[in-house]
Amino acid sequence: MRPHRLLPLPLALAIALAAAAPAGAAEWTIDVRDFSFAPGTRQVEVGDKVIWRFHDGGHTTTSRSGQAEQWDSNLRNGGGIYEHTFTKPGRYEYVCTPHESFMTGVIEVGGDPVARTVDGFSTKRRGKSVTIRVTLNEPASLTYKLKGPSRRTVKRGRLQAGEHSFKVRRLAKGRYRGTLTLRDDFDNRTIRKNSFRIR
């Protein structure tokens, strides 16, 4: 009978722990120089860290408002860095605040896990007003444009998944056409239309 050789206990534990450990999150670098972010678009996964390296001073990395994650480095000097770890999937636009008209960037985190942004979309008329109800399967921003004898536009920032409603009041008599536009965290657009008459 052959003798069995056992691995030393510390080595056996190290191998077992390495096999059980999840794959580590990655770190990604964006260079801030010459009034630009390079690369302008960076794709990462949930849990990854993005490091902005400021080669020139007087710049920021600042997320646009209304997104699932927010950050602001404030003004940095040349040689400084700023780090942010992404915990939610989505498409994130950001700017340098002093130069936001032209110095912009995008971070795309993971993939879109939800195929259909909206399930329910209904209209309920009462007198001279209408109530719009939507059921969202994922967070999204909402715009509802109403055309007809009275024109209205309703905008809502980033709404969470679930049921939402809003009312449009003081509508003149006549036929109306409404267009609901939803934008999810990946900037995918969903459009639904409806029509109704105010008597």
Q: Could you tell me the residue ranges of all domains in the chain?
A: 26-109, 118-198
Q: Tell me: domain 118-198, CATH 2.60.40.10, correct?
A: yes
Closest CA to 143 of 157, 134, 154: 154
Q: Given pLDDT bands bounded at 50, 70 and 90, which one contains residue 140? A: very high
Q: Given pLDDT bands bounded at 50, 70 and 90, which one contains residue 23? A: low
pTM (two decimals): 0.78
Q: Given pLDDT bands bounded at 50, 70 and 90, which one contains residue 13? A: very low
Cβ-based neighbours of 44, under 8 Å, separated by 6 or more: 26, 28, 50, 86, 107, 108, 109, 110
Q: Tell me: domain 26-109, CATH 2.60.40.420, correct?
A: yes
Whether 26-109 and 118-198 share one fold: the answer is yes
Please report the pLDDT score of residue 113 as a whole number. 87
Condensed to tens digits (0 to 9), the pLDDT of residues 59-76 reads: 999 999 999 999 999 999
Exposed/middle/buried for 84, CB within 10 Å: 0-12, 13-18, 19+? buried
